């Protein structure tokens, strides 16, 4: 989590520095001086240089803010404590050890993490009376739910990739626009006047650099978050497998659980903390009210 926060700070700093450098590059081209002298020139503000880049600067700026928002979103969303809380794993382990499928399902229904959603979709298919305890059907349902959740989360992640691909292309479009204007002025007799061509060349450089400033951090963050998501999905899959092993008794999962967690008098202790996760039975009065009583006539 700390590493992701540092990466976020680095990307935002990089974007701000890139925008400042874009201003310096354009000022140098427009004034025919070096970048340092142009950046220090008080005649124009950053707003002037921004609008000098043309209409393509607006969608690239929106893309920059979108990338920053998506980075913050994924830093908060792709956390192990949110997708697979340790308390949920501990409670589900205890329920699976005691083969309390109903309690495990109720526990998952009260949680919002990816582990709870995926495992809740499969635990309802467990059958204690069958030979394989219904594990095959449970694994199929879990795999479908994980794919569904991954698709939902990948929508916003793929949006970063789209921005990373489109931003340099928008910058290249601005480059073409600036070069077209420069060649038009050359055709009009401005070949021997560099000051006439400097403005259009500056637009070309400014939009190109701005597009790369947005695209490079977006591409870097996409690969970082994609790797993070894949690692979390692999860890969640391994945890679900261990939970099913506890229920079906395959391998040495139950023995390892007993050696690690089960202490003397463990069976007499409550398996999970209050309030219980098991569904509450209907009251007798409610059952009688829902069930019509047949009338017997003599």
Give the tens place of pLDDT for each residue, 219-261.
999 999 999 999 999 999 999 999 999 888 877 777 788 777 7
Neighbours of 128 (CB within 10 A): 10
- Residue 213 within any structural domain of the chain: yes
* Mean pLDDT, residues 109-136 taken together: 88
Q: What's residue 130's pLDDT?
A: 77
Q: Give the CA distances from residue 267 to residues 62, 65, 114, 236, in Å, rounded to whole numbers and listed in that order.
A: 59, 55, 29, 27
Q: What's residue 30's pLDDT?
A: 45
Task: Evaluate the omega torsion of the peptide bond into residue 292 and state whether it is cis, within 30 degrees of 0.
Answer: no
3-state secondary structure of 273: coil
Q: What's residue 21's pLDDT?
A: 47
- 190 vs 182: CA distance, rounded Å: 9
- Residue 286 within any structural domain of the chain: no
C-alpha angle 40/41/47, rounded to 5°?
A: 95
Q: Please check whether residue 248 is in contact with residue 133, taking contact to mean a CB–CB distance below 8 angstroms.
A: yes
Residue 177 has pLDDT above 60, yes or no: yes
Task: Please state, for a pLDDT cut of 90, what percent of the chain lies above it.
Answer: 35
What one-character DSSP code corresponds to residue 269? S
Q: What's residue 187's pLDDT?
A: 62
- Residue 283 within any structural domain of the chain: no
DSSP string for residues in 6-29: HHHHHHHHHHHHHHHHHHHHHHHH
- Residue 203 within any structural domain of the chain: yes
Length in residues, the chain: 298
By mean pLDDT, which of 3-12, 42-51, 249-258 is the weakest?
3-12
By mean pLDDT, which of 29-38, 85-94, 105-114 is the weakest?
29-38
Q: What's residue 153's pLDDT?
A: 92
Residue 71 domain boundaries: 2-81+154-224
Residue 105 has pLDDT above 80, yes or no: yes
Q: What's residue 158's pLDDT?
A: 94
How many distinct structural domains can be found in the chain? 1
24 vs 87, more confident: 87
- Residue 230 within any structural domain of the chain: no
- 175 vs 152: CA distance, rounded Å: 36
Residue recorded with tokens 């499928």? 101
Per-residue burial over 138-154, b if 16 or more Cβ lie within 10 Å, else e, is beebbeebbeebeeebe
- Residue 34 within any structural domain of the chain: yes
- Residue 107 within any structural domain of the chain: no
pTM over 0.85: no
Q: What's residue 92's pLDDT?
A: 92
Q: What's residue 210's pLDDT?
A: 87
2 vs 224, more confident: 224
Give Dmax (Cα) for the chain.
Answer: 118
Q: Please check whether residue 268 is in contact with residue 159, taking contact to mean a CB–CB distance below 8 angstroms.
A: no
Q: Label residue 288 by pLDDT band (50, 70, 90).
A: very low
- 247 vs 109: CA distance, rounded Å: 19
- 15 vs 163: CA distance, rounded Å: 14
User: Which residues make Cβ contacts (< 8 Å) with residue 54, sequence separation at least 6?
Assistant: 174, 177, 178, 203, 207
- 201 vs 190: CA distance, rounded Å: 13
User: Mean pLDDT over all residues of the chain?
Assistant: 75
User: Which residues make Cβ contacts (< 8 Å) with residue 121, sequence separation at least 6?
Assistant: 141, 142, 144, 145
- 40 vs 26: CA distance, rounded Å: 12
Task: Please state, for a pLDDT cut of 70, what percent of the chain lies above it.
Answer: 63
- Residue 199 within any structural domain of the chain: yes
Taking Cα atoms as reference points, which of 125, 122, 94, 126 lies closest to residue 108? 122
What tokens appear for 82 in the block?
A: 């949110």
- 272 vs 190: CA distance, rounded Å: 82
Q: What's residue 205's pLDDT?
A: 77
3-state secondary structure of 293: coil
């Amino acid at each position: 989590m700390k590493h992701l926060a540092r990466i976020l700070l680095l990307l935002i700093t990089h974007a701000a520095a890139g925008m400042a450098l874009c201003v310096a590059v354009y000022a140098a081209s427009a004034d025919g001086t070096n970048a340092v002298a142009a950046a220090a020139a008080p005649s124009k503000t950053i707003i002037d240089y921004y609008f000098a880049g043309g209409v393509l600067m607006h969608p690239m700026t929106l893309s920059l803010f979108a990338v920053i928002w998506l980075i913050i979103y994924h830093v908060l969303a792709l956390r192990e404590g949110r997708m697979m809380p340790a308390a949920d794993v501990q409670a589900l382990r205890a329920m699976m050890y005691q083969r309390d499928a109903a309690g495990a399902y109720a526990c998952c229904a009260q949680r919002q993490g990816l582990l709870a959603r995926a495992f809740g979709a499969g635990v309802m298919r467990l059958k204690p009376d069958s030979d394989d305890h219904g594990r095959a059907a449970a694994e199929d349902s879990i795999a479908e739910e994980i794919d569904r959740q991954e698709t939902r989360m990948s929508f916003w992640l793929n949006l970063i990739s789209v921005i990373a691909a489109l931003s340099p292309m928008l910058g290249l479009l601005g480059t073409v626009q600036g070069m077209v204007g420069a060649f038009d002025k050359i055709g009009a007799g401005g070949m021997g006047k560099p000051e006439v061509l400097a403005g259009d060349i500056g637009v070309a450089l400014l939009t190109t650099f701005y597009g790369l400033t947005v695209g490079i951090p977006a591409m870097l963050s996409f690969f970082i978050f994609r790797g993070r998501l894949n690692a979390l999905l692999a860890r969640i899959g391994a945890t679900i497998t261990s939970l099913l092993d506890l229920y079906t008794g395959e391998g040495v999962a139950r023995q390892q659980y007993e050696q690690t967690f089960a202490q003397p008098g463990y069976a007499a202790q409550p398996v999970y903390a209050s309030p219980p996760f098991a569904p509450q039975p209907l009251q007798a009065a409610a059952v009688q009210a829902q069930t019509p009583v047949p009338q017997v006539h003599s």
